[in-house]
Structure 1
Amino acid sequence: MKPAWLIVAYLAAVALPLIVSWLVGGPPRPFREELASGLGILAFTMILMEFVLSGRFKSISNGVGMDVTMRFHQMMARTALAFALLHPFLYRGAPSGGQRPWDPTRQLTITTDFSDLSTGIAAFLILPTLVLLAIGRTQLDVKYETWRLMHGIGALLVAALLLHHTIYAGRYGSLPVMTWLWGAMTGMAIGSLLYVYLLVPLRDKARGWRVTSVNRLTPKQWELTVTPDGHSGLEFKAGQFVWLNVGHSAFSLKENPFSISSAPSAGPEVSFIIKELGDFTRTVGQIEPGSVAYLDGPYGSLSIEGRDEPGVALIAGGVGIAPLISILRQMRLTDDPRKVKIIYGNRLEDQIACRDELDAEDVTYVLTEPPQGWQGARGFIDAALMDRVFSPTEFKEWIFVMCGPAIMMNIVEDHLIARGTPSSHILSERFDYD
């Protein structure tokens, strides 16, 4: 699906409850009360849409890129949080006491029943916690799988609380047409969770994989290879990634995203370059051949398939070489005639992966802590280095594909734009957003 259509679809979905409320809601109240209700409606709608923007729907994430999808997911979550926090403070006075027969249309008060307000108050307290935990999860000493489960349950709880609060405490939510609309949209959000956590595992369970080899590439990097178990394999583009689950049930939350390092044309086996960083990755070397594995994917848009630029620049930092080596391998297997230049940055020389393969290419190695006698580039991948590697014509005509630490990609992207590289010629994949 094209990015423009995705934006239109998102805006239409977010605006729908607001428009319907305006059409069927009766006489307007003072502006401040209408603004309060409007912000509440928008916040709830955006929260429900967050379930769809989770990154696990290929028609969305593959259309605009996983990094764009997840960044948008984060931005909209914070915007919804701001609307939700502001919403109750715009109403005049705190509703309390018994029934108020002089206000049958709820133009002066929302409700007088604390049980109807309490679900909104609970959501008001849980939502900021959910967003703050997402922002700071990398600083927390919590396993990724644990955080993911907490995030999913918390989001589901917030949606259920807000559905009750909106229908029973809202002026517009109690209208029959709005009750049906909110129910349908909440059902869609819950359905997206069922798709990710039930339907996808059911599908993957029938398409299992087996680990064929686990080889050490560098002191802390491994190449893990899996082969399809009774099926034809995975159709993917060079540069894409999958969610990999090794040694667990298809329904397990113990899955992690890894870029594919093998080429689509190399056969049914799929390989990954995995660096020891977290709980799972530190145990990769202990995985036994024959272990069961499940792949959910492919995802991502870091692909040069169908592109016709005269040259390809591959810029990697650390384990970011994984999707780029897949692209390079695919180009060589398909006899792609285009010229390729590679910049590959690491901290130490023994962290360079696939060196024998890369030495056959036009490659520039960059080390921040080079050994004595190092003949390659020193320091970081920066503007000066890029100006030495690429000509003015290459900056303007080639396609630049990069993957690595966020600070490296920020520097590279900024310099490419400054040197006149069209934004459509810059492909990047980010896995950290804050």
Structure 2
Amino acid sequence: MKPLILIVGYLVVVTLPLAISWWVGGPPRQFQQELASGMGILAFSMVLIEFILSGRFKAISNGVGLDVTMRLHQIMARTALVFALLHPFLYQGTPSGGQRPWDPTRALTITTDFSALSSGIAAYLLLPSLVVLAIGRTQLGFKYETWRLLHGVGALLIAMLLWHHTVNAGRYGSQPVMSWVWLAMTGLAIGSLLSVYLLVPLLQKARPWRVTSVARLTPRQWEVTVKPDGHRGLDYKAGQFVWLNVGNSPFSLKENPFSICSAPAAGPELSFMIKELGDFTRTIGQIRTGTVAYLDGAYGNLSLDGRTEPGVALIAGGVGLAPLLGILRQMRLTGDSRQVKVIYGNRIIDQIAYREELDAENVFYVLQEPPETWHGETGFIDSALIDRVFTEIEFSEWVFVMCGPAIMMDTVEDHLIERGTPSQRILSERFSYD
């Protein structure tokens, strides 16, 4: 239900400038010209709301999941691109308009004043580049920090160019009411960007953390633990994640999202299970105790708080164990007596982390490449394995929480729904899309 509320709210806000433009009105024009204006208005409003969707606002993301807001962000960016690309090709007639001596009735749509058109042309060229760069970031080999800087600066430049073009060249945008609407929406968009890059770092600077330990879990997985330095710590729910910045200025772009594998009931220290993958994670073992760290969070809705199902299924692939381990630890520390089953998949046996702790639970280990002495499950976490582990009653009554590779979660979610598990009892968060 919450994702539906987000989508409905999004549609209301995005179409508001279109509705006000229709209310402002003007001399009748051909349908194709009205369609062109409508697409331009929608494209601009979508671009501005993209700033809000990507702004890490907990009131939005924690209600539906940051993965849902980011997926909506991606889909709507591509939709806005289509509208923007079609917008200029739908106009008909001689290009003139606005408050010009040759068009006092403002019956036409755009102006021959190149200064008003140039900003729209620049945005027209930049927007596809921004979207393509976002889609192909991994293939193009950009470092995350470099891409994030380019993405933020590019989005800000596009917003400013579109504002100038809309209020100077648009038939509706130059109306006093619409000029104020666009100014307010552009101000909110820029404000959300400043919140992420300026306000949040300022707040982080006043609440530093210190690394207390760095421990190797497996050949390529580490546990990093931090404690609050001069403050009481972080309010969070088991299963949530934060953006972690270790050893850099709070204004640095070198921060990464990591799930918390410790439990709130264990105290103010936070632990993270981190796998060596990128530039930062490959240097985890070099971090010294006492190093300053900054946290932005907590985010996510992968939480059992307030849920009353009689059993809990935790399904993890690789480092996806981290948030589920936090949930499991919280249940044990708070005396939660519900039955728990854990499925934990890895490629090889050396990748299994926290085995001593997990062996005390009802756990099913799965290995893709098992040794000859292996007596556990083999292959992948698939529908056949799920059917062997869970009963009909558990499918219908338990809550299923999962984290891991996208293909694993797709397979498990589809099968759970086929077996009659209500969608509201399937919890997951995704951070990798096409």
TM-score by length of 1: 0.97
Q: 1:319 to 1:104 in 2, by over 3 A?
A: same
Give the counterpart letter for 1:347 in structure 2.
R
Is 2:359 aligned against 1:359? Answer: yes
TM superposition shift of 1:160 = 0.5
Q: How does 1:15-414 map to 2 (within 5 A)?
A: 15-93=15-93, 95=95, 101-414=101-414
Match of 1:129, SS state, is helix
Residue deviations 1:324-381 (CA, integer Å, cap 9, x gap): 0000000000110100001111111000111111111111111111111211111110
Within 2, Cα distance between the matches of 1:7 and 1:68? 10
Within 1, Cα distance between the matches of 2:115 and 2:208? 48
> Contact between 1:55 and 1:70, CA under 8 Å: does it hold in 2?
no
Within 1, Cα distance between the matches of 2:161 and 2:105? 23
TM superposition shift of 1:95 = 2.8
TM superposition shift of 1:94 = 6.6
Unaligned runs of 5+ in 2: none
> Contact between 2:27 and 2:106, CA under 8 Å: does it hold in 1?
no
Residue deviations 1:27-51 (CA, integer Å, cap 9, x gap): 2311000000000000000100000
> Contact between 1:96 and 1:114, CA under 8 Å: does it hold in 2?
no
TM superposition shift of 1:2 = 4.9
Within 2, Cα distance between the matches of 1:208 and 1:101? 61
Within 2, Cα distance between the matches of 1:149 and 1:94? 40
Indicate the percent of aligned positions where both proteins have the same amino acid: 76
Residue deviations 1:364-421 (CA, integer Å, cap 9, x gap): 1111111112111111100000000001111111000000010110000000000000
Match of 2:340, SS state, is strand
> Contact between 1:103 and 1:109, CA under 8 Å: does it hold in 2?
no
> Contact between 1:43 and 1:84, CA under 8 Å: does it hold in 2?
yes
Range with greater deviation from structure 2 (100-109 or 50-59): 100-109
Range with greater deviation from structure 2 (5-14 or 348-357): 5-14
Within 1, Cα distance between the matches of 2:265 and 2:305? 13
Within 2, Cα distance between the matches of 1:67 and 1:6? 13
Give the counterpart letter for 1:420 in structure 2.
G
Give the counterpart letter for 2:29 in structure 1.
R
TM superposition shift of 1:101 = 4.3
Which runs of structure 1 show a deviation greater than 6 angstroms over 4 or more consecutive aligned residues? none
Within 2, Cα distance between the matches of 1:100 and 1:282? 61
Q: 1:49 to 1:423 in 2, by over 3 A?
A: same
> Contact between 2:209 and 2:293, CA under 8 Å: does it hold in 1?
yes
Range with greater deviation from structure 2 (372-381 or 267-276): 372-381
TM superposition shift of 1:138 = 1.9
Within 1, Cα distance between the matches of 2:403 and 2:159? 35
Match of 1:272, SS state, is strand
> Contact between 1:341 and 1:363, CA under 8 Å: does it hold in 2?
yes
> Contact between 2:96 and 2:103, CA under 8 Å: does it hold in 1?
no
Residue deviations 1:43-98 (CA, integer Å, cap 9, x gap): 0001000000005100000010011111111111111111111111100157379x
Match of 2:262, SS state, is coil
> Contact between 1:349 and 1:371, CA under 8 Å: does it hold in 2?
yes
Within 1, Cα distance between the matches of 2:55 and 2:335? 33
TM-score by length of 2: 0.97
Within 2, Cα distance between the matches of 1:207 and 1:324? 27
Unaligned runs of 5+ in 1: none
Give the counterpart letter for 2:373 in structure 1.
G
TM superposition shift of 1:102 = 4.4
> Contact between 1:55 and 1:66, CA under 8 Å: does it hold in 2?
no
Give the counterpart letter for 1:135 in structure 2.
I
Give the counterpart letter for 2:164 in structure 1.
H
Instruction: Give the CA RMSD over aligned residues.
Output: 1.6
> Contact between 1:245 and 1:294, CA under 8 Å: does it hold in 2?
yes
Within 2, Cα distance between the matches of 1:28 and 1:150? 42
> Contact between 1:218 and 1:352, CA under 8 Å: does it hold in 2?
yes
Within 2, Cα distance between the matches of 1:218 and 1:198? 37
